[in-house]
Amino acid sequence: MGRFDGKTAIVTGAAQGIGEAYARALAREGANVVVADLNAGLGEQVAERITADGGTALCVKADVAEPDSVTAMAESTVDRFGGIDLLVNNAAIYGGMKLNLLLAVDWDYYRKFMAVNFDGALLCTRAVVPHMRKRGGGSIVNQSSTAAWTYSSFYGVAKAGLNSLTQQLATELGGSGIRINAIAPGPTDTEATRTVTPAAIVAQMVERLPIKRMGTPDDLVGMCLFLLSGEAGWITGQIFNVDGGQVMR
């Protein structure tokens, strides 16, 4: 028996990296998993791997910055599995992210970035909440970052906003039996991180960590599963650092 037998979970940005790790872990624990990603080709591969491992998965192409797209994502999930119980708002522009100052970043790029990295979590939450209410409740995990507490330009701004969104929505959703929390990873070894952050800067970050290594997607999975599960039934509106001790607060 898995912790999520009979439950249906949507994981956005699940075609690779941390999102894929979340999706595969949820499937191992018995959940029906929707692999939601703009890259449907990679998403299909993840869904196929989950199925080959004995799980149940559906790939849905979704652009979290577009209201119609996330509404269709929720409807496709309900059509296939009958309802929605769990949501992980993991999708973000990160790999290949353009680095620049807040004072200099191209405005159109900034607005697109915030539409995905901040607004996307709210749009997806709004899309699934009516379906969670029909099930009597649910649980949501937002993917934040320790960038919210360190200088990280517009990426940090988006993650700080996501933390506040998590806290605000906890109040709005609590009466419906829906909990919402966030995970704030520290430096995590993914392909996206390797494309964004120069190796020398990564080495400096690791040297300052109490636990002197990069995190891995597997380091984050346990917290995600815990927060989505009934074991965290009296926890909402919280941001949990999983960061090797990078930020102590």
Dump pLDDT digits (tens) for 226-247. Answer: 999 999 999 999 999 999 999 9
pLDDT of residue 128: 98
Share of the chain above pLDDT 70, in %: 100
Pure H helices in the chain? 17-28, 40-52, 67-81, 107-114, 120-134, 153-174, 191-196, 199-208, 217-228
Within a domain: residue 44?
A: yes
Within a domain: residue 1?
A: no
CATH number at residue 181: 3.40.50.720
In whole numbers, what is the pLDDT of the chain averaged over residues?
Answer: 95
Within a domain: residue 150?
A: yes
Whether 151 sits among the annotated catalytic residues: the reply is: no
Per residue in 36-66, pLDDT (tens digit) is 999 999 999 999 999 999 999 999 999 999 9
Of the candidates 22, 109, 151, 155, the residue annotated as catalytic is 155
Within a domain: residue 35?
A: yes
pLDDT classification of 249: cutoffs 50, 70, 90: confident
Q: What is the domain extent for residue 117?
A: 8-242
Within a domain: residue 139?
A: yes
Q: Kindly state the tokens that stand for 200.
A: 């020398």
pLDDT of residue 221: 98
Within a domain: residue 249?
A: no
Per residue in 110-150, pLDDT (tens digit) is 999 999 999 999 999 999 999 999 999 999 999 999 999 99
Indicate the number of domains in the chain.
Answer: 1
How far apart are the C-alpha atoms of 33 and 133, rounded to whole Å? 19
Chain position carrying tokens 């965290």: 232
